[in-house]
Structure 1
């Protein structure tokens, strides 16, 4: 796939997410609101429509995330410790500071401390969609920095969901899940290259994880770790599956989840200014800026991990703002954090406000940034810093 095709797909994915969120808000605040809620709570077998989307289809999203993380970690932009250092520091601070701001604003209220992870997330599809709208004003090295931060952020979000938003564990299904995962790992070890055994294993693993008490979407990440990456292969099983999943997930599953999750009725200004939505919005908008820019600045000044030469500090600030677009992952974590539907709705309001403010501000900062070096020079600088050798190792 060419660079132009990739940028076009990112732009379409970002616009699809924006359209889905806008449609959900319009429907939820229209005479169709009752029908919208009724459809989401319609039972289809053991789960309702919303849970099939959030627990079932979103497992495909996490499978795609897991495939991307594995490829980047073993054969891409995160293959060496030097390449990992700056995005790890920026992502860690970009998760910690928003969580701290949230706890300072809302943590003192009974039952609200569980939402600390909601503003810690970044929606890479939304952020890259905004970046794609900027065209040449968003240099390749800036995109690489944003993508690598978001990849580390995704890893952090998965760990947070597994450790802090897991219900009571059930030993039987948990043992079954471990056995299925071990079998999938053995298939990789013994050279199974066809995709269908891994997809079958993924489906079985999803059922076992769902019944175990761990959130079912974690099955996607675990399954991804077992798919063969290969060494220097343009069409290894992992790369083939990632390519096949990308468009259906980013243009289908993620916008559908956005439509199913973003619909919230605005009841007035008092709801917006209550601690829960205010803490999330401030965490996304202020926390991401402070965390990401602060970490990059400290790493650069200390010599631990230099800032890319072709990226200005104003562009770093713009990228940090785009990291404050939480949307998909923030909505997802908000639904896990709170059992009360009223609190879930407040979390949605905070996520939407913080993401909207971050997206607009990030776009304006990058749109007004000074002219950049030529694309070829910028690309060379990006490859020098982050690396993009797709065939160094195997997994």
Structure 2
């Protein structure tokens, strides 16, 4: 597919059109999952997600549940597109200014430190379990971006890039934390082979143009090796995005990176993310008591996500700019940045995943029910308040522009 040349800013704005249009679909998919999970069809819903599915291609054999195929398979495409966009922004767009790259990285660091501290303070005060501190550290990229897409019309595109970069760094930190605290061991031989393939692909792409089928085959191979090796496919997908060339290649002088973003993004936005939302947002509230809703674990997680995230993200972003290490996103106000900081408290699926590792047991165990309540409560509160703050900040910015135009 031929892509005409555009300025970096125009390219980013065009890229966001699909994101904005898909936000409502993602929200409806999540709502549908909650309805189904608490309806007479709940047993069928959970049975299908737990059902094992096998992939057999010659010597390649993989067996995972439907839920795992969605998380490790389909979502790898999402992280590939995210990685491609981050690389584009670093080399050609908003993040090409190093000071604007430092700010979201610093904010991500604060967004991992403060929630853990808030959780431990609340857990100590209410005599709750201390091992739940990693749960509110994560940000759910897909749902945070979906909320931003629904309220972000008229806001600077740099805010979405800031959120995207912050969430990627946050997610990589969460993956590292999982590997350190909860990993049962990684098989290093498949991982070494995947790294070798990435190195060969990077070197080859610098010498000559690589046809699209080889890129697809290469991604499939490193993805399979990461699954076999026990490494998160989100990490390997971002690593693969790094080696995709951004400079024009081939007889048509097209950028493989921009072409891949252009071709993959609609499928990710309208297919991958809604399926992911429908599979992961279905939480049953059957049998939940008032006592469980007010349990120390619930309050600690919710406080970590809603209070800790906004304090850490906004505080460290302000510190980075105050100290001169970083810069505020282009054309964005502090109130708009605060709204984005609130959206970072949408932990949802990643927090639920960490919760399952921190409190191993049956899906309907008391601890797991409390983890779900805390994550849902903190994530929903962060999403609603963040959306309201962004809407107010956007309205204020538009009023300022109108006032300037009337002068």
Does TM, normalized by the shorter one, top 0.5?
A: yes
Tell me the residue number matched to 1:367.
391
1:352 corresponds, among 371, 376, 381, to: 376
Give, in whole Å, the separation in 2 of the partners of 1:308 and 1:73. Answer: 13
- Decide whether aligned partners of structure 1 residues 304 and 191 sit closer, same or farther in structure 2, where only a CA change above 3 A counts: same
Mean alpha-carbon deviation: is it higher for 200-209 or for 27-36? 200-209
Unaligned runs of at least 5 residues, structure 2: 1-9, 55-62
The two structures have a TM-score, normalised by structure 2, of 0.79
**One of 8, 33, 40 as aligned partner of 2:49:** 40
1:98 aligns with 2:119: no
1:204 and 2:216 correspond:
no
Per the alignment, residue 326 of structure 2 pairs with: 305
Equivalence map 1:171-210=2 (5 Å): 171-210=188-227
Query: Is contact 2:83-2:239 (8 Å) kept?
Result: yes
Mapped partners of 1:304, 1:4: distance in 2? 27
Kept in 2: contact 1:254–1:328 (CA 8 A): no
1:241 matched to 2:265? The reply is no
1:150 offset after TM fit, Å?
Answer: 3.4
SS in structure 2 opposite 1:44?
Answer: strand
Q: Do structure 1's residue 290 and structure 2's residue 311 form an aligned pair?
A: yes
Q: Distance in 2 between matches of 1:197 and 1:350?
A: 44
Are the equivalent residues in 2 in contact too, given 1:87–1:149 (CA < 8 A)?
A: yes
Q: Label 1:173 to 1:129 Cα distance change in 2 as closer, same or farther (>3 A).
A: closer
TM-score between the two structures when normalised by the length of structure 1: 0.82
- Structure 1 spans left out of the alignment, 5+ residues: 378-395
Q: 1:160 to 1:68 in 2, by over 3 A?
A: farther
Deviates more, 1:287-296 or 1:185-194: 185-194
Deviation per residue, 1:318-377 (Å, 9 max, x gap):
2211222233443454456554224555433322221211111112223333344449x9
Contact residue 118 and residue 303 of structure 2 kept, 8 A? yes
Residues 167, 250 of structure 1: alpha-carbon distance in 2 compared, 3 angstrom cutoff: farther
Give, in angstroms, the shift of residue 238 of structure 1: 1.5
Higher mean C-alpha displacement, 74-83 vs 253-262: 74-83
User: In the alignment, what sits opposite 2:139?
Assistant: 122
Offset, 1:22: 1.1
Deviation at 1:230, TM superposition (A): 1.7
- Judging changes above 3 Å, is the alpha-carbon distance between structure 1 residues 334 and 57 closer, same or farther for their aligned structure 2 residues? farther
Tell me the distance in 2 between the aligned counterparts of 1:297 and 1:83: 12
For residue 255 of structure 1, report the CA deviation from its aligned partner. Answer: 1.9
When the two structures are aligned, how many residues end up with a matched partner?
374
In structure 1, which of residues 256, 261, 266 is the aligned counterpart of residue 280 of structure 2? 261
8 Å CA contact retained: 2:99, 2:325: no
